[in-house]
């Protein structure tokens, strides 16, 4: 089967080709048009250049120099700027998959599915991901003396639709074209200052994308398929995301998901005060923490007990996940069952081949305050701090029906002060797209 390789320019860019959230272009849209061919979704790449500026002077903003403190999350690289990812049918405009809080999902996904070697080699080259905060800042954020240097990227799009392993029939009477929409992240939730304070004259710090295009592979239609009716199905695991907050020692979270084949669920945490501010990393995944008025930040709130619920009843485990290691006061490690739950929720251990999760970056003991300190959450080795709670449903790749009963989780922690903690929840469920000349239908 022969292939052709396409380069698609964005549907909505300004005349100079430079895209900036601060300057009024918060959405990127690419359309692979309907044609006689089979799209390989795994081949989709977003290609372009990234620049970071410390002000918004017109016409030429000032690039970041070595003495400036501006940086962003090193484990995310270019995914720092992706707030949400939406895949649509170009023919019917129907949403096939939409992942909100995409960068939060990618932070945990990258930590669990890539090794240190991956992040030091091909992920650093293509997606600007590095396992060390200072290396990332030097290689990606800081510009050269003339200010003309650009950092190029060619980023794949991890999501259920793109990673199904199936091909998409692009014929007009079948699925038709595919539209990829990316909502960009606000600058204040991407960039932050390493010392935790905004330097004078740099409050307009922002990032800018340029020379953007989508690249993909389209395979020629086999002769026997050309004669067949343009109808069929496309199966994949879709990701659904929700956001809430907790602010108590005993937190209860419940949602009606209306998902018939839920594979797994996981959640990550971050202080609400860290969202959309240049003084903290808005994309980090940390333990819940207590409030504090000093520069070192509040103490971490250890999670003591977790219950996953279905219809208000413990499920799939009929026991509590107890952090029994807390009985040893000198131990900062979590219960291994908590770690395994997060593993299985994202990539079950029988599919797992590499990871950067370890007792180094999953442990407690880091600080939530001044970011320049060696013990700060953004300076934790192996890419930064990691924390999450997860649960897998069913045996093997079989999921469970949550269309009639609520998903729930009960969390007992040491969160004893008034410090709201944002909770980002992600649900993986099987979905099927049915397409024909009459249209496209999504079944979940």
443 lies in some domain: no
Q: Which run of H or of E encompasses 410?
A: strand 407-413
Say yes or no to pLDDT of 49 above 80: yes
Same domain for 211 and 249, yes or no, is no
Same domain for 316 and 223, yes or no, is no
Return the structure tokens found at 39. 């799209």
Model pLDDT, residue 144: 64
Domain hosting 307: range is 234-432
Question: 347 versus 120: which is more confidently predicted?
Answer: 120
Model pLDDT, residue 161: 94
Q: Tell me which DSSP letter residue 220 carries.
A: P
Last residue of a domain, one of 187, 204, 230: 230
HSE-CB for 162 with a 13 A CA cutoff: 21
Same domain for 226 and 271, yes or no, is no
Say yes or no to pLDDT of 216 above 90: yes
Model pLDDT, residue 296: 55
Closest CA to 414 of 288, 273, 291, 328: 288
Model pLDDT, residue 275: 93
Model pLDDT, residue 217: 96
Last residue of a domain, one of 186, 212, 230: 230
Q: Are 398 and 148 in contact (CB under 8 A)?
A: no
In this structure, what are the phi and psi dihedrals at residue 150, rounded to the nearest 5 degrees? -125, 150
Percent of the chain clearing pLDDT 70 (strictly above) = 95
Distance set, CA 145 to CA 65, 76, 203, 442 (Å): 8, 26, 21, 51
The predicted model scores a pTM of 0.94
Same domain for 256 and 215, yes or no, is no
Same domain for 60 and 174, yes or no, is yes
Confidence bin at 238 (pLDDT 50/70/90): very high
164 lies in some domain: yes
Same domain for 401 and 260, yes or no, is yes
The neighbour count for residue 396, using CB atoms within 10 Å, is 7
Average pLDDT over residues 212-219: 96
Exposed/middle/buried for 367, CB within 10 Å: 0-12, 13-18, 19+? buried
Say yes or no to pLDDT of 293 above 80: no
Say yes or no to pLDDT of 145 above 70: no
Say yes or no to pLDDT of 396 above 90: no
Last residue of a domain, one of 230, 265, 298: 230
Question: 260 versus 327: which is more confidently predicted?
Answer: 260
177 lies in some domain: yes
438 lies in some domain: no
Per-residue pLDDT tens for 254-270? 999 999 999 999 999 99
Model pLDDT, residue 324: 58
Percent of the chain clearing pLDDT 90 (strictly above) = 61
Angstrom distance (rounded) from CA 74 to CA 147: 21
Question: 438 versus 100: which is more confidently predicted?
Answer: 100
Number of domains present in the structure of the chain: 2
Same domain for 166 and 296, yes or no, is no
Same domain for 120 and 240, yes or no, is no
Average pLDDT over residues 232-240: 90
Same domain for 219 and 258, yes or no, is no
The neighbour count for residue 146, using CB atoms within 10 Å, is 7
Same domain for 111 and 245, yes or no, is no
CATH number at 157 reads 2.70.9.10
Handedness of CA 154, 344, 161, 405 (dihedral sign): negative
Angstrom distance (rounded) from CA 378 to CA 357: 15
CATH number at 309 reads 2.60.120.730
Same domain for 348 and 254, yes or no, is yes
Exposed/middle/buried for 291, CB within 10 Å: 0-12, 13-18, 19+? middle
């Amino acid at each position: 089967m022969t292939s052709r390789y396409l380069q698609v320019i964005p549907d909505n860019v300004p005349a100079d080709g430079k895209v900036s959230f601060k300057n009024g272009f918060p959405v990127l849209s690419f359309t692979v048009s309907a044609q006689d061919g089979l799209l390989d979704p795994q081949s989709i790449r977003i290609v372009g250049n990234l620049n970071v500026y410390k002000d918004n002077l017109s016409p030429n903003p000032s690039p970041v120099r070595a003495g400036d403190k501006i940086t962003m999350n090193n484990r995310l690289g270019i995914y720092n700027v992706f707030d949400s990812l939406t895949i649509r049918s170009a023919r019917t405009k129907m949403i096939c998959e939409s992942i909100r809080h995409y960068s939060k999902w990618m932070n945990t996904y990258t930590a669990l599915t890539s090794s240190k070697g991956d992040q030091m080699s091909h992920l650093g080259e293509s997606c600007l991901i590095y396992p060390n905060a200072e290396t990332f800042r030097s290689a990606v954020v800081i510009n050269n003396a003339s200010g003309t240097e650009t950092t190029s990227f060619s980023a794949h799009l991890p999501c259920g639709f793109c990673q199904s392993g199936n091909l998409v029939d692009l014929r007009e009477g079948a699925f038709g074209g595919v539209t990829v929409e990316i909502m960009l992240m606000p600058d204040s939730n991407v960039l932050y200052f390493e010392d935790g304070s905004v330097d004078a004259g740099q409050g307009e710090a922002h990032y800018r994308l340029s020379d953007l295009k989508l690249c993909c592979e389209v395979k020629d239609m086999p002769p026997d398929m050309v004669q067949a009716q343009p109808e069929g199905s496309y199966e994949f695991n879709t990701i659904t995301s929700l956001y809430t907050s907790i602010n108590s020692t005993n937190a209860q979270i419940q949602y009606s998901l209306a998902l018939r084949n839920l594979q797994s669920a996981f959640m990550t945490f971050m202080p609400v005060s860290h969202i959309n501010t240049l003084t903290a990393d808005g994309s980090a995944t940390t333990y819940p923490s207590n409030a504090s008025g000093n520069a070192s930040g509040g103490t971490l709130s250890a999670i003591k007990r977790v219950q996953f619920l279905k219809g208000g009843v413990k499920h799939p485990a009929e026991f509590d996940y107890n952090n029994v290691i807390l009985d040893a006061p000198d131990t900062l490690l979590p219960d291994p069952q908590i770690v395994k739950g997060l593993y299985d929720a994202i990539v079950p251990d029988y599919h797992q081949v590499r990871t950067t999760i370890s007792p180094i970056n999953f442990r407690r003991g880091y600080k939530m305050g001044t970011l320049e300190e060696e013990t700060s959450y953004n300076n934790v080795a192996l890419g930064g701090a990691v924390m999450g709670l997860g649960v897998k449903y069913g045996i093997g790749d079989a999921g469970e029906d949550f269309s009639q009963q609520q998903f729930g989780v009960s969390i007992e922690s040491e969160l004893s002060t008034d410090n709201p903690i944002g909770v980002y929840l992600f649900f993986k469920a099987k979905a099927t797209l049915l397409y024909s000349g009459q249209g496209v239908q999504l079944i979940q």
